[in-house]
């Protein structure tokens, strides 16, 4: 009787471990992927400030370029898609 | 929203308006005619223009049209308001820098001849006399004015008012100096792309503009060589030379297009620290400066007119 309950215990522990592993694997496989857009988020403001000359009295304002990661293969594609949704009106130096 | 484009005053004119198509076409045609009239009146390259006749009459009273009188009067007010930084009496300096013919003609030449550099004596535009009763103007002797930028802003403003009789929401832009009336249906603002002054194919930011005016001045447009020296069209009236600026372009949002144009020119001549002090009395104005790296600079209020892409939140 003691031997039988030990065997049942072993089987039960093995089944629970295997089931937990499979459950976790399925859960991870179906969890949301990290957003591809997160790769396009700009460097931190501190990095932006450090990479440009200081302009005492004024503060840096984010531009579209700050949200594109230089060197990324997606940069140009993303930039183009950004511009296509932009308005037809433009301001430039007259 | 319907769009219309044509070239006048040596620049691209863009109109956009909401409403029924047929009346809008009449409105767009009115805008085109108005720009043609303004070009004929304010061009300094046409000997017969009213502006050229005013310049030839410097030192005597000149009977002006209501339109020329209004633009000169506005220019004088903005000259005083900007402490002289906005100054249309730089025409002789522009000519000396080589800009003595239209930009289309300049572009055909590889380089312009160097003109002997005499000492710059600043013209006294603030001594200009106006007689509102007669609509007459007296430029001081020797003063020659160029109304290029301010005339474009003034014309865009008036044309937008004209177009607004056909549309509740419309905008007219002369090379980016634009006046917006009303708001597009369901939209909280007008969206305007700010071009990168280093590459006109690229956009630096999307500006969110309330009803009012926006103007951009840049030292990377209208450039040429004089001898071996690079020149551009924004003259510093204090030195009589093309401005040596910390900025490649300056955009200003203001209640009127003439104010936006004058302040964009004035701010382009100032350093960051000077801009901060200069702008203190002008609470209604917003500006964005672009430095040589293509970086945008401003004050906390500047962020009110710029859109941050959604994916940045």
Tokens of B100: 């003595």
Task: With CB atoms and an 8 Å threshold, state whether B309 touches A53.
Answer: no
One domain for residues A55 and A80: yes
Q: Domain range holding A8? A: 1-31
Tokens of B43: 């061009």
Q: Which residue of B has its CA nearest to A83?
A: B203
One domain for residues A27 and A45: no
Helix-strand-coil split of chain B, %, nearest 5: 35, 30, 40
Whether A35 has a pLDDT exceeding 50, the answer reads no
Domain-embedded: residue A93: no
Is this complex's ipTM strictly greater than 0.85?
Answer: no
Nearest to B43 by CA among B101, B118, B3: B101
Tokens 């634009």: give the residue.
B178
Task: With CB atoms and an 8 Å threshold, state whether B178 touches A89.
Answer: yes
One domain for residues A67 and A40: yes
Check if the beta carbon of residue A43 is closer than 8 Å to that of residue A67. no
Nearest to B98 by CA among B248, B243, B229: B229
Q: Which residues contact A59 (CB under 8 A, 6 or more apart)?
A: B297, B298, B299, B300
Nearest to B302 by CA among B272, B261, B266, B257: B272
The pLDDT, as a whole number, for residue B303 is: 85
Tokens 């840096």: give the residue.
A60
Query: In this structure, are strands B190-196 and A90-91 parallel, antiparallel, or unpaired?
Result: parallel
One domain for residues A23 and A43: no
Nearest to B207 by CA among B189, B192, B188: B192
One domain for residues A26 and A42: no
Q: Which residue of B has its CA nearest to A38?
A: B311
> How big is chain B by its Cα radius of gyration, in Å?
19
One domain for residues A64 and A38: yes
Nearest to A67 among B298, B302, B309 (CB): B309
Nearest to B296 among A63, A67, A93 (CB): A63
Tokens of B154: 């003034």
One domain for residues A9 and A48: no
Domain-embedded: residue A16: yes
One domain for residues A25 and A39: no
Mean pLDDT per block of 10 residues along chain B (313 residues) reads 93 94 96 97 94 97 98 97 96 83 77 75 95 97 94 97 96 93 93 90 90 94 78 87 91 96 96 92 92 91 75 42
DSSP string, B42-84: H-SS-TTSHHHHHHHTTTSEEE--HHHHHHHHHHHHHHHHTTT
CA B249 to chain A, closest CA, distance in angstroms equals 7
Contacts of B187 in chain A (CB under 8 A): none
- How far is residue B70 from each of residues A53, A89, B30, B74, measured CA to CA in Å? 42, 28, 20, 6
Domain-embedded: residue A57: yes
Domain boundaries, chain B: 188-313
Nearest to A64 among B203, B249, B300 (CB): B203
3-state SS class at B4: strand
User: Count of A–B CB contacts within 8 Å?
Assistant: 146
Task: With CB atoms and an 8 Å threshold, state whether B193 touches A91.
Answer: yes
Whether A80 has a pLDDT exceeding 60, the answer reads no
Q: Which residues contact B247 (CB under 8 A, 6 or more apart)?
A: B219, B267, B268, B289, B290, B291
Contacts of A87 in chain B (CB under 8 A): 190-193, 206
pLDDT 10s digits, A39-77: 333 333 333 344 556 777 788 888 877 765 454 444 444
- Kindly state the average pLDDT of the residues A17-29: 83
CATH class of B188-313: alpha beta
Task: With CB atoms and an 8 Å threshold, state whether B309 touches A93.
Answer: no
Contacts of B299 in chain A (CB under 8 A): 58-59
Chain A residues interacting with chain B (CB cutoff of 8 angstroms): 37, 40-42, 48, 52-53, 55-65, 67, 79, 82-83, 86-94
Taking the C-alpha atoms of residue B305 and residue B207, their distance in angstroms, rounded to an integer, is: 5
3-state SS class at B247: strand
Domain-embedded: residue A92: no
Taking the C-alpha atoms of residue A36 and residue B308, their distance in angstroms, rounded to an integer, is: 18
One domain for residues A23 and A40: no
The pLDDT, as a whole number, for residue A77 is: 46
Taking the C-alpha atoms of residue B164 and residue B226, their distance in angstroms, rounded to an integer, is: 43
The pLDDT, as a whole number, for residue A47 is: 33
Taking the C-alpha atoms of residue B187 and residue B149, their distance in angstroms, rounded to an integer, is: 30
CA B241 to chain A, closest CA, distance in angstroms equals 18
Q: First CA to last CA across chain B, in angstroms?
A: 29
Nearest to B64 by CA among B155, B132, B110: B132
Contacts of A53 in chain B (CB under 8 A): 291, 293
Taking the C-alpha atoms of residue B177 and residue B192, their distance in angstroms, rounded to an integer, is: 11
3-state per-residue secondary structure call for B121-155 = CCCCHHHCEEECCCCEEECCCCCCCCCHHHHHHHH
């Amino acid at each position: 009787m003691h031997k039988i309950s030990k065997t049942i215990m072993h089987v039960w522990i093995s089944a629970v471990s295997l089931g937990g592993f499979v459950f976790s694997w399925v859960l991870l496989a179906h969890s949301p992927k990290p957003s591809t857009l997160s790769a396009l988020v700009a460097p931190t403001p501190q990095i932006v400030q450090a990479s440009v000359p200081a302009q005492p009295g004024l503060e840096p304002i984010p531009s579209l370029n700050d949200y594109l990661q230089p060197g990324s293969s997606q940069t140009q594609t993303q930039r183009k898609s950004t511009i296509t949704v932009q308005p037809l009106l433009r301001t430039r130096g007259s | 929203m319907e769009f219309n484009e044509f070239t006048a005053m040596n620049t691209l004119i863009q109109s956009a308006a909401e409403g029924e198509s047929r009346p809008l076409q009449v409105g767009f045609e009115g805008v085109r005619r108005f720009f043609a009239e303004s070009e004929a009146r304010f061009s300094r390259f046409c000997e017969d223009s009213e502006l050229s006749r005013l310049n030839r009459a410097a030192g005597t009273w000149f009977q002006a049209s209501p339109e020329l009188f209004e633009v000169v009067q506005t220019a004088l007010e903005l000259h005083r308001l900007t402490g002289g930084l906005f100054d249309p009496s730089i025409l002789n300096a522009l000519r000396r820098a080589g800009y003595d013919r239209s930009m289309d003609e300049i572009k055909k030449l590889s380089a312009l001849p160097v003109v002997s550099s005499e000492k710059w004596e600043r013209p006294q535009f603030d001594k200009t006399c106006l007689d509102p009763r007669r609509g007459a103007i007296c430029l001081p002797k020797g003063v020659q004015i160029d109304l290029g930028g301010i005339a474009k802003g003034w014309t865009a403003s008036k044309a937008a008012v004209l177009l607004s009789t056909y549309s509740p929401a419309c905008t007219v832009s002369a090379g980016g100096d634009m006046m917006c009336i009303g708001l597009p249906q369901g939209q909280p603002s007008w969206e305007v792309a700010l071009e990168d002054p280093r590459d006109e194919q690229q956009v630096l930011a999307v500006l969110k503009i309330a009803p009012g005016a926006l103007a951009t001045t840049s030292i990377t447009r209208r450039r040429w060589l004089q001898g071996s020296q690079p020149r551009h069209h924004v003259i510093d009236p204090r030195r009589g030379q093309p401005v040596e600026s910390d900025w490649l372009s300056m955009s200003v949002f203001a209640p009127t297009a003439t104010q936006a144009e004058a302040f964009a020119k004035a701010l382009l001549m100032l350093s960051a620290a000077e801009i901060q002090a200069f702008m203190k009395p002008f609470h209604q104005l917003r500006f964005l400066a672009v430095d040589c790296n293509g970086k945008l600079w401003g004050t906390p209020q500047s962020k009110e007119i710029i859109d941050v892409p959604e994916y940045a939140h």
